[in-house]
Amino acid sequence: MARHGTTRAHRGTGAQLTMDSLLAYARRQDRADGLAHLRTRFVGADTELVYFDGNSLGRPPVAAIERVERFMREEWGGRLIRGWDESWLQLPYEIGDRIGRAVIEAKAGQTVIGDSTTVLLYKLARAAVDAQVARDPQRREIVVDRDNFPTDRYVLEGIAHETGCRLRWIDVDLERGVTPEQLAEVAGPHTALVVVNHVSYRSAYLADAPELTRIAHDAGALILWDLCHSAGSVPVHADRWEFDLAVGCTYKYLNGGPGSPAFAYVRDDLQQALRQPIQGWFGTADLFAMGPEYVPAPGIRRFVSGTSPITAMIAMQETLAMIEDVGMAAIRAKSIALTEYAIELADQWLAPLGVVVGSPRDAEERGGHVILQHDAMREVTARLWQRDVIPDYRDVGGLRVGLAPLSTSFEEVHRGLDATREVLREVLAERAGLG
């Protein structure tokens, strides 16, 4: 099954590596890497620090420093309130459309930069559930898996509480995520909404988005995709896969900066049918009419609530320009090569120490990070941070190696996993000594 248009390229890495030194391989990959020049465009990429957390908070693009400063001096400082006249009001939709075009393949008018992912999830999920229950009072179930990202689960619990709907939980294998078989088993005439993470934040399992969407639709349900861990790392075809709704982060692979606002996608023919729950003046048909009551704007604008966080959406534009330049296919190819290499190093260096790769080995089922399981990983992560090697830790026993394709080099992967091996040996030696 050829999913997501990816191929099984990079198979056979292992055979190649046994004939070659692992470091020489990394250097050769870096020389051949068509995206290598982009690494120099990120703050700190020229230092010895190893960054394995670009999937949690991307590095700042160097050009964003100047862009933010220029914005503050010229636009905020120079234009003051006049800035809202045209350009700032349009910016959330302009950037939204760029994300639509370059990152998630959605035609214009369906994507907007809004609030945090959590708030957008709430707004879209609540709008979807309300519309479904109004259409058919039997549809009172929200399907979600137990390993879905915490904020998604909490938001949906809240919506269930508010609306009297029920959560229908899918138990997933922690090394994977929701499979088509599992969704087909629970989706039916009672399903209002299905919420799925495209890439699992823990295992990196890449859900079969077109297939799960089809299954939800066959059951008469709407589906909301959380693209936080795929946007900017794994190609998404929102229109072609017939998504209804989606949200995604901009501070992970899109390098928008800590707390930069998320994006929302709402399929155009659904927009008029949905009414989101946080009705504010920025989502009304005529913002400055200050009218007596709320009249939702036509189109995607009705999903906006209050004043758009303009300052916080400046930096992400640098990464969008890079993605527009090189395309998601090249980014995905490098992402696969990076994760394949990390898995190879883990197999050769860490497996003998008891580490288990907790991410899918098939690149077609894996997003942009790799999780390495061992009960010492909490301690290992803490010690690595002190040595300027920055992965993160996810319970239970998972060291997460996030590999942002635009800013990570193969040699960096080599350095980071070499340090991981050293620190893990150290921790295990101490344990043995204590034993």
Ligand X SMILES: *Cc1c(COP(=O)(O)O)cnc(C)c1O
Taking the least distance from each CB to ligand X, the nearer of 234 and 424 is: 234
Residue 124 interacting with ligand X (CB under 6 A): no
Indicate which single residue of 226, 318, 365, 392 sits in contact with ligand X (rule: CB under 6 A). Answer: 226
Burial category of 314 from C-beta neighbours within 10 Å (exposed 0-12, middle 13-18, buried 19 and up): buried
Residue 152 interacting with ligand X (CB under 6 A): yes
Taking the least distance from each CB to ligand X, the nearer of 25 and 251 is: 251
Return the structure tokens found at 416: 């980071």
Q: What single-letter amino acid sits at 225?
A: W
Indicate which single residue of 29, 110, 111, 117 sits in contact with ligand X (rule: CB under 6 A). Answer: 117
Return the structure tokens found at 222: 């709407």
Nearest approach, Cβ of residue 294 and ligand X (Å)? 25
The CA distance from 364 to 333, in Å, is: 11
Nearest approach, Cβ of residue 391 and ligand X (Å)? 16
CB 170 within 8 A of CB 146: yes
Indicate which single residue of 132, 182, 197, 381 sits in contact with ligand X (rule: CB under 6 A). Answer: 197
Taking the least distance from each CB to ligand X, the nearer of 71 and 149 is: 149
Phi, psi of 219 (to 5 degrees): -85, 0
Taking the least distance from each CB to ligand X, the nearer of 83 and 358 is: 358
**Of 14-22, 71-79, 148-156, 379-387, which part binds ligand X (CB under 6 A)?**
148-156
Taking the least distance from each CB to ligand X, the nearer of 83 and 368 is: 368
Nearest approach, Cβ of residue 367 and ligand X (Å)? 10
Phi, psi of 92 (to 5 degrees): -60, -30
**Of 112-120, 163-171, 215-223, 355-363, which part binds ligand X (CB under 6 A)?**
112-120
Residue 243 interacting with ligand X (CB under 6 A): no
Provide the angle, in degrees to the nearest 10, between the axes of the packed helices 316-326 and 62-70.
Answer: 130
Under 8 Å CB-to-CB from 424, ≥6 apart: which residues?
350, 353, 355, 374, 376, 380
Place of tokens 């905020």: 76
* Total residues at interface with ligand X (CB under 6 A): 13
Residue 400 interacting with ligand X (CB under 6 A): no
CB 267 within 8 A of CB 105: no
Strand partners, 168: 143
Residue 249 interacting with ligand X (CB under 6 A): yes
Residue 253 interacting with ligand X (CB under 6 A): no
The CA distance from 295 to 326, in Å, is: 41
Nearest approach, Cβ of residue 195 and ligand X (Å)? 10
Residue 344 interacting with ligand X (CB under 6 A): no
Residue 118 interacting with ligand X (CB under 6 A): yes
Residue 228 interacting with ligand X (CB under 6 A): yes
Residue 33 interacting with ligand X (CB under 6 A): no
Taking the least distance from each CB to ligand X, the nearer of 123 and 139 is: 123
**Of 145-153, 317-325, 332-340, 424-432, which part binds ligand X (CB under 6 A)?**
145-153
Phi, psi of 167 (to 5 degrees): -90, 135
Taking the least distance from each CB to ligand X, the nearer of 175 and 226 is: 226
Indicate which single residue of 63, 109, 116, 174 sits in contact with ligand X (rule: CB under 6 A). Answer: 116
The CA distance from 25 to 411, in Å, is: 9
Indicate which single residue of 52, 88, 201, 253 sits in contact with ligand X (rule: CB under 6 A). Answer: 201
Indicate which single residue of 52, 122, 149, 205 sits in contact with ligand X (rule: CB under 6 A). Answer: 149
Return the structure tokens found at 39: 């690494």
DSSP string, 288-331: GG--SS--BPSGGGGG--S----GGGSTHHHHHHHHHHH-HHHH
Residue 308 interacting with ligand X (CB under 6 A): no
The CA distance from 205 to 363, in Å, is: 10
Q: What single-letter amino acid sits at 419?
A: A
Cis before residue 144, ω within 30 degrees of 0? no
Indicate which single residue of 123, 190, 229, 332 sits in contact with ligand X (rule: CB under 6 A). Answer: 229
If phi > 0 it is left, if psi is from -120 to 50 it is alpha, else beta; for residue 389 that is beta
* Catalytic residue annotation: 149, 226, 251-252, 400
Binding site for ligand X (CB under 6 A): 116-118, 149, 151-152, 197, 201, 226, 228-229, 249, 262
